[in-house]
Amino acid sequence: MMISELSPEYHRPPPHAAHLTDLARVVADVERYDAPDPSPPEKLAADFRRVLTNLGSAASSLTDPCRLQIWKLATRLWNAVVDRANSAALARGPSARAAEAEIRQAAPEILLLAGCPDEVPLAAAKAASFFLRAGQEWLDLGRVDLATACFEKATPLVSAPAAEEERDVLLGLNLARARAASDAGDQSLAVALLGRSKPLASASPKGTRSLAEGYLSVGEAALSAKPSDPAVGASSLITEALDLFEKLPSPSPSSASPKTPNLQQQKGRCLRYLALERLEAKDHEGVLRCVQVSRASVGQANEHPSMGFMALHAWLGTGNLAEAERELERIMANANAPENVCVGAAEVYLASAGSEAARKVLVALAARCRAGGAAAAVRVVTTVVDGGIGSPGRARAIGELVSDERVVALFDGPANTSHRRAMHTLLWNCGFEHFNAKNYDICADLFETSMLYLSREDGSRVRRAQCLRVLAVCYLALKRLDRAHEFVNEADKVEHNAHCAFMKIKIHLQKNDEDEAIKQIKTMMGCIDFNPSSLMLTTHEAIACKAVRVAVASLTFLLGLYSPGKPMPEREVTVLRTLIELLRREQGTEDEILKYSRRAKLRMSDLGVEDFFGNGPVGTRELNWFAGNCWNMGRRVAKEQKYDLSAEFFELAAEFFGGASNDEGDGNRPTLCKALIMSVTSMLQAEELNNSPLSDSDVKKGVEMLSRAGKLLPSIWPSVSVASDQAEANNFMFLHTFYSYQLLDRMDTSAHPQQLQLVKNFASSKACTPSHLLKLGKAASEGTPPNLLVAEFSLKASIKTALASHSPNYRVISAALRNLACLAGLQDLSGSKSDAVYDVYRQAYQIMVGLRDGEYPCEEGQWLAVTAWNKSYLARRLNQASVGIKWMKMGLDLSRHVESMKQYTADMEQCLEYFQKLFHSEAGEHALLGKNPDECSQQEGAPSTSMSGSMSQPVLV
C-alpha cells in the first residue's frame, strides 16, 4: 500500500506546480493595478519574460489539467490587461505603454505554449484573436516589427477557417497585416493581402466595410508616399474602397459614432482623397468631378472644408478666377472650416488673383478669423509683399490694406504680441525699401502705418521713438519742415536723446535758423547718449546747408572736448584745419583765424610736431597747410593794411615752417626766412600807419627775427632758378638789410658804424641793385638824425652800379644824383668848404653828355640846370663873382642837354656874357689897386660891385 493511501492528509503536489504558482502570482500583480503601491509595468513585463522562459522549457511535459489551468490564468491576464488599458490611473509614458503592450502580448504567448485544450471551444481562434489585438497595439505604438511578429504567429492558427468566428479573425489578421505592410512601406504586399481578404469579407457587410476601410487606409498611405510606388496606384485603391462602400446598405444615423463614422462620411473621405490624387496629377477637371459628386452625395452644408479648398485650386488651375472667388467665399462662410484652411485658401487665391484682391480677402479673413486672425493677416500681407512692392501703387495699396480698422483690431490683446511685432517689421521693411529708393512720400505712409502695430507699453518705447525719428527724416527730405518738426518733437517726448536733438538741428538748418541750430547743439551735448561724433555730423550738415556760422560753432564746441587720452572722432589738427578753412570763407574773421592758428602752434609746442600733426607724409602735409595758411593770411591782411595781424600771421608761419624749433629744415628754409622778414616788415609798417613807436621788446624781437633770417639768407639766393624767383630773392635780401638798418636806427648813434657796415655788405652782394641802394641812401638821409656816411655811400654806390650795367636806368641815376646833391648841400651848410655839391653837378653833366634826347629824365635834368643856375644868384649875393660865374656856366651847360630848357639858353648865355664882362672890368680895377676883386668886394664899407650893374641876373624857377 502507498503512503498516500495510508495518509490522505499528505499527497504529492501536481507536476509544474511551481510554474503555475509563479504565473498566478504575476497575474495577480497585474490585476492589482489600483492598489496603493502597484508594481510598475516594466517590472511586470520582466516577470512575464521570466515566466514564459520557464513555461517554454516545460511545455512538452505539461498535463491536460495544467494546460487548462494555464488557459484560465491567461484569460484572467487578458481581462486584467483590458481593465488596465481602460484605467486612467496608470501612467501613459512611452516606456510604460511599451511595457503594457508587452504584458498584453504575454497572454497569447502563454496560450500558444499551453496549446489548444479540447475543453476550450475554438481555442485556436481565441489565441489568434489575442495575437491580433496585441499586434494592433504594437502598430499603434509604431512598432511594426513586433506587430508583424504577432500577426505571423496568429495566422497559422486560423489558416483553414471552418467556423465564422475563425473567418472573422483571419480577415482581421489579413487587414492588420496589410496595414503593417503599408506602414513599413511595402505597398505591394499590402495590396496582395487586401486582395486575399476579399473572399472572407464578402460574407458579411461588416467584413465588406472593414475591407473598404483597409483599401482606403492603404490608398491614403500610397497617396502620401514620396516617391510613390509605380506598381501601386493610389487612385485604384481609393476607387476600390469607394466601390465597396457603395455596395453597403445605408445604416441608420443613430448607429454612427465618433469612433465609427457613418457610410456617407466614409464615401466623402474617399472622394476627398480621389480629388487630392487628381489635384496632384494636375487633372483639374477630375478634381471638379470629385467635388461635384461629393456635394451631390453629402450636400454642401455637410461638406468637408478640404473639398472647397481643392475646388479652389482646380478653378485657379483652369484660370476661372470668378469661380475660384466663389469657392473662397464658400470656404469663408463654412463654419466648420478651420482658420488655417481659410488662410491657406486666401493665400492660394491671392497668389493667382494678385494684390488687387488682397483688401477684399483680408477684410473677409478679419471677419472670419478670431483666434488666428492676426497670424492670418500677417501671412496674407506677407504674400502680397512677396509679390512685389516696387511700384508706388502697390505700396500704397498695402498701406491702405493694413490700416483698415477691422484688420488692426485683429491684433488686439497680449496673445497677438508676436504677430503685431511681425506685422510692424513687415511694414517697416517695406518702408525701408522705398526709403532706399528715395520714395519718401510712400515710405512715410508705410512707416506711419507700421506704428499702428506698436503697443503703448514701455517695451515699444524705443521702437516708437525710432519710427517717429525716421518719419521726421522722410518729411525733412520732402521739405515739409513743419511736419518733420512735429514728428521729432513727439519722438523727443517718447525718448529724449541726442538723435532727436540732431534731427532738430537739421530742421533748423533747413529753415536757415542758425541761432536755434546752435542752441540745439548745446542741447545735444547735454544728452546722456551724446557722442562727439555727432558734432562732426552736425558740421557736415551745416556745411551742406552753407551755414558756416553753425559749422564753426559745432567745431568750436568739439575743440572744447579734447583732453589727453580721450578718444575723439577726429584728430585735433583736422578739426582746427577745418575750422580755419570755414572761417576763411567769412569776412572779418581774421582775429578768429589768428586765435585758432595760435592754438595749433601751442598744441604743436606742447605735444610735439609728430604727435600733433601726425607721422610721415600726412603729418608733413598738415604742417605745411597751417604754415601756408598763415603765410596767405599774412599777405591778405597786409593788403588790407592790417599790419598788426599781418605781423602775427607771418610770425606763426615762421614757427610752422620751422617745424617748431628746427630752422635748418632743407625744404622750408627759404620760406621760413621770408616769413621772418615779412613779420618784421609788417611790424614796422604798423608802426608807421598807427603812428605809435615800437616798444623796446618789439624792437628786440624784430632784431632777433632778422638775425635769425640773416642766418638763412645764404640758402635763398643760390637756390633760385628763374629770373622771377631771383628778383624775389633779391628783394627779400634787400628788405632784410633795409629793416635791419631801421631797427638799428632805433637804438642809438653808436649803431651808425654797424649801419654802414650792413649797407656795405649788402652792396657787395649779388642781390644788390641800384634801386635798393637808392632806397637805402634816401632812408639814411631822412633818418633822425640822418646817417650821412651811409647816405653818401649808398647814393654813390647806386650811381656807380647803375652806370656799370649794360642798360643803365637813368631814372634811378638821376634820383640818386638829386639826393646826393641835396646831401652835399647839407654838408656845405654844416660848414664844409668842399666843392662836393659842384662835383655832383659836374658828374651829372658828364653823364648827360652824349645821351639821346629824353634818355635822361627831362624833369631831373631841368632840376639840375635850374638849381645850378640859381646857386649863382646866391654866390652873387655873397659877392662871390667867380663862384657865381662857375655855377652859371654849369647851369648853362646842363640846360643845353635838356630839351625843355633850350628856350632859356639864349637868355642864359647873354646873362653869363654880361656878368663875365662886368667881372673882368672890376677885376682890372682891383688889379691896379693890388686887390683880389672877390676880397675887395667883401671889405666892410666898400662900394657895391655886385654883378647886377645895369642888368639883373634872372632866377630860374
For residue 216, what is the enclosing H or E element? helix 205-224
Highest mean pLDDT among 93-97, 230-234, 797-801: 797-801
In terms of pLDDT, which residue wins out, 780 or 552? 552
DSSP codes, 745-756: HTT-GGGHHHHH
DSSP codes, 791-834: HHHHHHHHHHHHHHSSS--HHHHHHHHHHHHHHHHHHHHTT--S
pLDDT at 828: 57
In terms of pLDDT, which residue wins out, 366 or 311? 311
Whether pLDDT at 926 is above 60: no
Backbone φ and ψ for 142, nearest 5 degrees, come out as: 85, 10
Lowest mean pLDDT among 32-36, 97-101, 448-452, 625-629: 32-36
pLDDT (mean) for 687-699: 85
Whether pLDDT at 161 is above 90: no
pLDDT (mean) for 569-588: 92
pLDDT at 925: 56
Distance of alpha carbon 787 from alpha carbon 943, whole angstroms: 43
- The set of cell numbers assigned to 570 is 577726429
At 947, the pLDDT band (50, 70, 90 cuts) reads very low
What number of residues does the chain have?
957
pLDDT at 89: 66
- The set of cell numbers assigned to 134 is 496585441
At 693, the pLDDT band (50, 70, 90 cuts) reads confident
Give residue-wise pLDDT tens across range 193-203. Answer: 888 888 887 77
Distance of alpha carbon 218 from alpha carbon 238, whole angstroms: 8
Task: Work out the angle at residue 802's Cα, subtended by the Cα atoms of residues 796 and 805, and round it to the nearest 5 degrees.
Answer: 140
Whether pLDDT at 386 is above 70: yes
529-541 residues labelled b (16+ CB within 10 A) or e (exposed)? ebebebbbebbeb
pLDDT at 937: 40
Give residue-wise pLDDT tens across range 252-279. Answer: 555 555 455 677 778 778 888 888 888 8
pLDDT at 832: 43
pLDDT (mean) for 908-930: 73
Percent over 90 (pLDDT), the chain = 22
64: left (phi over 0), alpha (psi -120 to 50) or beta: alpha
Distance of alpha carbon 732 from alpha carbon 734, whole angstroms: 5
In terms of pLDDT, which residue wins out, 755 or 576? 576
Which residue carries 504567429 as its cell? 153
pLDDT at 180: 85
Using only C-alpha atoms, the chain has a radius of gyration, in whole angstroms, of 63
In terms of pLDDT, which residue wins out, 653 or 661? 653
Highest mean pLDDT among 33-47, 217-231, 426-440, 917-931: 426-440
Whether pLDDT at 99 is above 70: yes
pLDDT at 168: 85
Highest mean pLDDT among 98-102, 401-405, 466-470, 922-926: 466-470
Distance of alpha carbon 209 from alpha carbon 246, whole angstroms: 10
pLDDT at 877: 78
Highest mean pLDDT among 127-131, 156-160, 288-292, 626-630: 626-630
Backbone φ and ψ for 930, nearest 5 degrees, come out as: 75, 30
Give residue-wise pLDDT tens across range 549-572. Answer: 999 999 999 999 998 888 899 999
Burial class (CB in 10 A: 0-12, 13-18, 19+), 843: middle
Residue in 623, 646, 617, 642 with CA at minimum distance from that of residue 634: 646
142: left (phi over 0), alpha (psi -120 to 50) or beta: left
At 355, the pLDDT band (50, 70, 90 cuts) reads low
At 943, the pLDDT band (50, 70, 90 cuts) reads very low
At 957, the pLDDT band (50, 70, 90 cuts) reads very low
In terms of pLDDT, which residue wins out, 620 or 931? 620
Coil, helix or strand at residue 564: coil
Distance of alpha carbon 634 from alpha carbon 638, whole angstroms: 6
Whether pLDDT at 546 is above 50: yes
Which residue carries 578739426 as its cell? 575
Average pLDDT of the chain, as a whole number:
81
In terms of pLDDT, which residue wins out, 485 or 743? 485
pLDDT (mean) for 208-222: 80
Alpha carbon of residue 769 to chain centroid: 63
Residue in 195, 212, 215 with CA at minimum distance from that of residue 204: 212
Q: 523, 539 in Cβ contact below 8 A?
A: no
Distance of alpha carbon 47 from alpha carbon 57, whole angstroms: 16
Alpha carbon of residue 83 to chain centroid: 72
Other Cβ atoms closer than 10 A to 588: 7
Give residue-wise pLDDT tens across range 324-345. Answer: 888 887 878 777 788 778 877 8
Backbone φ and ψ for 745, nearest 5 degrees, come out as: -65, -20
Lowest mean pLDDT among 217-231, 341-355, 561-575, 872-886: 217-231
Distance of alpha carbon 162 from alpha carbon 891, whole angstroms: 175
Task: Specify the pTM.
Answer: 0.62
Task: Give the Å distances, CA to CA, from 224 to 183, 187, 219, 227, 290.
Answer: 11, 12, 9, 9, 19
Whether pLDDT at 16 is above 90: no
Percent over 70 (pLDDT), the chain = 86
Whether pLDDT at 614 is above 80: yes
pLDDT at 30: 85
pLDDT at 482: 94
pLDDT at 857: 92
Coil, helix or strand at residue 762: helix
Q: 790, 759 in Cβ contact below 8 A?
A: yes
- The set of cell numbers assigned to 862 is 631841368
Other Cβ atoms closer than 10 A to 188: 11
pLDDT at 347: 78
At 354, the pLDDT band (50, 70, 90 cuts) reads low
